[in-house]
């Protein structure tokens, strides 16, 4: 197994763990277990942050993976990927906002933002895992150069 395979597996695992933790956190707050909810949601945020750090590091130092599937599916994949990227960006902004509201103890706003944030995050996790499956399990290959090499040669 190469770095091209290990880093995506690890980062996708963190995003999946984050989604599972968000679901557990949601369940806990419904049961009025506020302290446990807080701990689980912080763990979810840490898992999501670890995903982001690994993803950015891989992009800079190792490179990403281009779609290596049939040409007939490429446009559908790219549309799907764009949808995932937009979802992930919105989820990150909403996630930071939701965590900030909780930290500032603005629980009424946190509750409203939290429901929407969690739903967007679940969609992000599902589309992210789907991208991983397409790039590394269904149609492996298509590695790109690391950004650092593209910039500095």
Structure tokens at 115: 């429901």
pLDDT tens profile 6-18: 889 999 999 999 9
pLDDT of residue 153: 63
Q: What is the mean pLDDT of residues 101-108?
A: 96
Question: Are 143 and 4 spatial neighbours (Cβ–Cβ below 8 Å)?
Answer: yes
Alpha carbons 88 and 67: distance in angstroms, whole number: 19
pTM, to two decimals: 0.90
Domain count, the chain: 1
pLDDT band, very low/low/confident/very high, at 89 (cuts 50, 70, 90)? very high
pLDDT tens profile 108-139: 999 999 999 999 999 999 999 999 999 999 99
Whichever domain contains 27, its CATH number is 1.20.120.80
91 CB-contact burial (10 Å; exposed 0-12 / middle 13-18 / buried 19+): buried
pLDDT tens profile 59-73: 888 888 889 999 999
Beta-carbon neighbour count of residue 148 at 10 Å?
13
* Range of the structural domain that residue 95 is part of: 3-152
Q: What is the mean pLDDT of residues 33-46?
A: 98
Whether 82 has a pLDDT exceeding 90, the answer reads: yes
pLDDT of residue 13: 97
């Amino acid at each position: 197994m190469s770095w091209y395979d290990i880093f995506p597996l690890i980062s996708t695992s963190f995003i999946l763990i984050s989604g599972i933790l968000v679901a557990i956190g949601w369940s806990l707050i419904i049961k009025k277990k506020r302290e446990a909810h807080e701990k689980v949601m912080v763990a979810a945020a840490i898992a999501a942050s670890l995903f982001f750090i690994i993803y950015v590091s891989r992009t800079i130092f190792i490179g990403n993976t281009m779609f290596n599937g049939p040409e007939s599916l490429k446009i559908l994949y790219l549309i799907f990927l764009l949808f995932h990227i937009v979802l992930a960006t919105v989820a990150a902004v909403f996630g930071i906002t939701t965590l900030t509201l909780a930290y500032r103890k603005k629980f009424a706003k946190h509750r409203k933002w939290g429901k929407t944030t969690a739903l967007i995050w679940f969609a992000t996790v599902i589309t992210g895992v789907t991208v991983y499956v397409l790039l590394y399990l269904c149609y492996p290959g298509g590695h790109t150069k690391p950004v650092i090499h593209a910039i500095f040669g």
